[in-house]
Amino acid sequence: MDQQQKELAQIKAKIQNHLISSGNYDIINKQLKLKLYESGWYDKINQIALRELNDNSNINFDQLYNFIKPKAQDLVPDNVKDEINVKIKQYLDHVVQ
Amino acid sequence: MTESGITYDNLAASLLNDMINNIIKNEVLLNLSNHLSIEKQIGDNKENNNFKFQETDSSKDIYGQDKMKLKTVESGRYFSCENCGRKIAGGRFAQHINKCLERKRK
Protein backbone atom coordinates (compact mmCIF):
# COMPACT_ATOMS: atom_id res chain seq x y z
CA MET A 1 0.00 0.00 0.00
CA ASP A 2 2.83 2.30 0.95
CA GLN A 3 4.66 1.42 -2.20
CA GLN A 4 1.57 2.18 -4.19
CA GLN A 5 1.12 5.54 -2.57
CA LYS A 6 4.73 6.39 -3.20
CA GLU A 7 4.30 5.52 -6.81
CA LEU A 8 1.17 7.59 -7.03
CA ALA A 9 2.98 10.55 -5.51
CA GLN A 10 5.78 10.20 -8.01
CA ILE A 11 3.46 9.99 -10.95
CA LYS A 12 1.49 12.89 -9.61
CA ALA A 13 4.60 15.05 -9.27
CA LYS A 14 5.58 14.25 -12.83
CA ILE A 15 2.16 15.02 -14.17
CA GLN A 16 1.94 18.19 -12.17
CA ASN A 17 5.20 19.38 -13.63
CA HIS A 18 4.00 18.62 -17.10
CA LEU A 19 0.63 20.21 -16.37
CA ILE A 20 2.29 23.45 -15.36
CA SER A 21 4.98 23.57 -18.04
CA SER A 22 2.46 22.87 -20.79
CA GLY A 23 0.29 25.77 -19.65
CA ASN A 24 -2.69 23.53 -19.04
CA TYR A 25 -2.59 24.18 -15.32
CA ASP A 26 -3.26 27.84 -15.92
CA ILE A 27 -6.14 27.12 -18.25
CA ILE A 28 -7.86 24.65 -15.94
CA ASN A 29 -7.17 26.79 -12.90
CA LYS A 30 -8.74 29.79 -14.58
CA GLN A 31 -11.81 27.78 -15.50
CA LEU A 32 -12.09 26.58 -11.94
CA LYS A 33 -11.83 30.11 -10.58
CA LEU A 34 -14.41 31.38 -13.01
CA LYS A 35 -16.84 28.64 -12.04
CA LEU A 36 -16.27 29.40 -8.37
CA TYR A 37 -16.88 33.09 -8.96
CA GLU A 38 -20.09 32.33 -10.81
CA SER A 39 -21.34 30.10 -8.04
CA GLY A 40 -20.71 32.77 -5.41
CA TRP A 41 -18.14 30.66 -3.65
CA TYR A 42 -15.66 33.52 -3.30
CA ASP A 43 -18.23 35.73 -1.64
CA LYS A 44 -19.08 33.05 0.88
CA ILE A 45 -15.45 32.42 1.72
CA ASN A 46 -14.76 36.12 2.12
CA GLN A 47 -17.73 36.50 4.44
CA ILE A 48 -16.58 33.60 6.60
CA ALA A 49 -13.05 34.99 6.73
CA LEU A 50 -14.29 38.48 7.53
CA ARG A 51 -16.52 37.28 10.31
CA GLU A 52 -13.75 35.21 11.85
CA LEU A 53 -11.25 38.06 11.60
CA ASN A 54 -13.83 40.33 13.16
CA ASP A 55 -14.41 38.01 16.10
CA ASN A 56 -10.82 37.08 16.59
CA SER A 57 -8.48 39.81 15.54
CA ASN A 58 -5.26 38.13 16.61
CA ILE A 59 -5.69 34.99 14.59
CA ASN A 60 -2.68 33.88 12.54
CA PHE A 61 -2.55 32.41 9.08
CA ASP A 62 -2.46 28.75 10.09
CA GLN A 63 -5.40 29.13 12.42
CA LEU A 64 -7.47 30.99 9.90
CA TYR A 65 -6.54 28.56 7.14
CA ASN A 66 -7.44 25.54 9.26
CA PHE A 67 -10.69 27.21 10.23
CA ILE A 68 -11.75 28.02 6.70
CA LYS A 69 -10.36 25.06 4.77
CA PRO A 70 -13.00 22.42 5.64
CA LYS A 71 -15.84 24.87 5.11
CA ALA A 72 -14.40 26.09 1.84
CA GLN A 73 -13.97 22.55 0.58
CA ASP A 74 -17.53 21.70 1.48
CA LEU A 75 -18.85 24.81 -0.19
CA VAL A 76 -17.40 23.99 -3.59
CA PRO A 77 -20.46 22.97 -5.62
CA ASP A 78 -20.47 19.37 -6.83
CA ASN A 79 -21.12 20.29 -10.44
CA VAL A 80 -18.04 22.54 -10.47
CA LYS A 81 -15.96 19.72 -9.03
CA ASP A 82 -17.31 17.30 -11.61
CA GLU A 83 -16.70 19.64 -14.50
CA ILE A 84 -13.11 20.35 -13.57
CA ASN A 85 -12.55 16.69 -12.82
CA VAL A 86 -13.67 15.85 -16.33
CA LYS A 87 -11.27 18.47 -17.71
CA ILE A 88 -8.38 17.02 -15.75
CA LYS A 89 -9.26 13.54 -16.90
CA GLN A 90 -9.37 14.69 -20.50
CA TYR A 91 -5.92 16.13 -20.03
CA LEU A 92 -4.71 12.88 -18.47
CA ASP A 93 -6.21 10.90 -21.33
CA HIS A 94 -4.30 13.09 -23.70
CA VAL A 95 -1.00 12.73 -21.86
CA VAL A 96 -1.06 9.14 -20.63
CA GLN A 97 -0.85 6.88 -23.58
CA MET B 1 -7.07 -3.06 -14.69
CA THR B 2 -9.37 -1.89 -11.94
CA GLU B 3 -6.39 -0.81 -9.89
CA SER B 4 -5.08 1.48 -12.57
CA GLY B 5 -8.60 2.84 -12.91
CA ILE B 6 -8.65 3.66 -9.24
CA THR B 7 -5.30 5.39 -9.32
CA TYR B 8 -6.34 7.25 -12.43
CA ASP B 9 -9.41 8.59 -10.66
CA ASN B 10 -7.38 9.23 -7.54
CA LEU B 11 -4.88 11.18 -9.54
CA ALA B 12 -7.48 13.46 -11.07
CA ALA B 13 -9.20 13.94 -7.72
CA SER B 14 -5.98 14.77 -5.92
CA LEU B 15 -4.93 17.20 -8.64
CA LEU B 16 -8.29 18.92 -8.28
CA ASN B 17 -7.97 18.93 -4.53
CA ASP B 18 -4.56 20.58 -4.74
CA MET B 19 -5.96 23.23 -7.02
CA ILE B 20 -8.83 24.01 -4.68
CA ASN B 21 -6.55 24.11 -1.67
CA ASN B 22 -4.22 26.50 -3.45
CA ILE B 23 -7.11 28.82 -4.18
CA ILE B 24 -8.29 28.64 -0.58
CA LYS B 25 -4.80 29.41 0.68
CA ASN B 26 -4.58 32.38 -1.63
CA GLU B 27 -7.92 33.69 -0.55
CA VAL B 28 -7.15 33.30 3.16
CA LEU B 29 -3.85 35.07 2.72
CA LEU B 30 -5.53 37.90 0.85
CA ASN B 31 -8.15 38.36 3.54
CA LEU B 32 -5.63 38.24 6.32
CA SER B 33 -3.27 40.73 4.72
CA ASN B 34 -6.13 43.09 3.96
CA HIS B 35 -7.28 42.82 7.52
CA LEU B 36 -3.83 43.47 8.92
CA SER B 37 -3.14 46.44 6.71
CA ILE B 38 -6.46 48.06 7.58
CA GLU B 39 -5.85 47.32 11.24
CA LYS B 40 -2.48 49.00 11.04
CA GLN B 41 -3.86 52.09 9.39
CA ILE B 42 -6.77 52.72 11.70
CA GLY B 43 -5.02 51.70 14.91
CA ASP B 44 -7.23 52.05 17.96
CA ASN B 45 -9.81 54.04 16.12
CA LYS B 46 -11.96 50.99 15.55
CA GLU B 47 -15.32 52.49 16.38
CA ASN B 48 -15.01 55.47 14.09
CA ASN B 49 -14.32 53.88 10.77
CA ASN B 50 -16.87 53.12 8.18
CA PHE B 51 -15.03 50.81 5.85
CA LYS B 52 -13.96 48.00 8.07
CA PHE B 53 -15.94 44.98 9.20
CA GLN B 54 -18.80 45.67 6.94
CA GLU B 55 -20.71 42.55 6.33
CA THR B 56 -22.64 42.73 3.14
CA ASP B 57 -26.18 41.55 3.38
CA SER B 58 -27.27 39.99 0.12
CA SER B 59 -30.75 41.49 0.37
CA LYS B 60 -29.38 45.04 0.37
CA ASP B 61 -27.53 47.06 -2.23
CA ILE B 62 -24.27 48.91 -1.62
CA TYR B 63 -26.07 51.88 -0.05
CA GLY B 64 -27.84 49.66 2.44
CA GLN B 65 -31.20 49.98 0.74
CA ASP B 66 -33.48 47.00 0.52
CA LYS B 67 -33.29 45.48 -2.93
CA MET B 68 -36.81 44.12 -2.99
CA LYS B 69 -38.27 47.44 -1.95
CA LEU B 70 -36.28 49.26 -4.61
CA LYS B 71 -37.48 46.83 -7.21
CA THR B 72 -41.14 47.34 -6.40
CA VAL B 73 -40.69 51.10 -6.30
CA GLU B 74 -38.98 51.10 -9.68
CA SER B 75 -41.35 48.77 -11.44
CA GLY B 76 -44.30 50.72 -10.08
CA ARG B 77 -43.11 54.05 -11.36
CA TYR B 78 -44.24 55.24 -14.76
CA PHE B 79 -41.90 56.62 -17.37
CA SER B 80 -43.01 58.33 -20.52
CA CYS B 81 -41.66 56.88 -23.73
CA GLU B 82 -39.88 59.52 -25.80
CA ASN B 83 -40.73 57.67 -28.94
CA CYS B 84 -44.48 57.23 -28.75
CA GLY B 85 -45.32 59.45 -25.80
CA ARG B 86 -47.15 56.75 -23.87
CA LYS B 87 -46.52 56.16 -20.19
CA ILE B 88 -44.93 52.81 -19.46
CA ALA B 89 -44.38 51.09 -16.10
CA GLY B 90 -40.70 50.85 -15.10
CA GLY B 91 -40.76 47.08 -15.10
CA ARG B 92 -41.83 46.94 -18.72
CA PHE B 93 -39.93 49.91 -20.02
CA ALA B 94 -36.98 48.05 -21.49
CA GLN B 95 -39.27 45.62 -23.23
CA HIS B 96 -41.42 48.43 -24.56
CA ILE B 97 -38.60 50.60 -25.87
CA ASN B 98 -37.14 47.61 -27.66
CA LYS B 99 -40.35 47.00 -29.58
CA CYS B 100 -41.21 50.66 -29.97
CA LEU B 101 -37.91 51.55 -31.62
CA GLU B 102 -38.09 48.53 -33.84
CA ARG B 103 -41.48 49.64 -35.09
CA LYS B 104 -40.05 53.06 -35.89
CA ARG B 105 -37.19 51.59 -37.88
CA LYS B 106 -39.58 49.65 -40.06
Report, as an integer, the average pLDDT of A68-77: 89
Q: How many independent structural domains does chain A possess?
A: 1
Give the strand pairing for B87-89 and B78-80: antiparallel
pLDDT of residue B40: 81
A88 with B15: CB under 8 angstroms? yes
Q: What percent of chain A has pLDDT over 70?
A: 97
Instruction: Show the 3-state SS of chain B.
Output: CHHHHHHHHHHHHHHHHHHHHHHHHHHHHHHHHHHHHHHHHHCCCCCCCCCCCCCCCCCECCCCCEHHHHHHHHHHCEEECCCCCCEEEHHHHHHHHHHHHHHHHC
pLDDT score of A5 more than 80: no
Residue A31 lies in a domain: yes
Least confident of A85-94, B33-42, B58-67: B58-67
Q: Is B67 on the interface with A (CB under 8 A)?
A: no
Does the predicted model carry a pTM greater than 0.90? no
CATH code for position A55: 1.10.246.140
pLDDT of residue A57: 76
B72-100 tens-digit pLDDT: 777 778 888 888 888 888 888 889 999 99
Q: How many CB pairs under 8 A join A and B?
A: 85
φ, ψ dihedrals at B88, nearest 5°: -120, 140
Best of B2, B10, B15 to substitute, by most chain A Cβ atoms within 10 angstroms, is B15
Best of B2, B10, B20 to substitute, by most chain A Cβ atoms within 10 angstroms, is B20
Q: Which domain holds residue A41?
A: 25-95
B21 with A68: CB under 8 angstroms? no
Whole-number CA gyration radius for chain A:
17
pLDDT score of B60 more than 80: no
Q: Is A55 on the interface with B (CB under 8 A)?
A: no
Q: Which residue did the predictor score with more confidence, A61 or A9?
A: A61
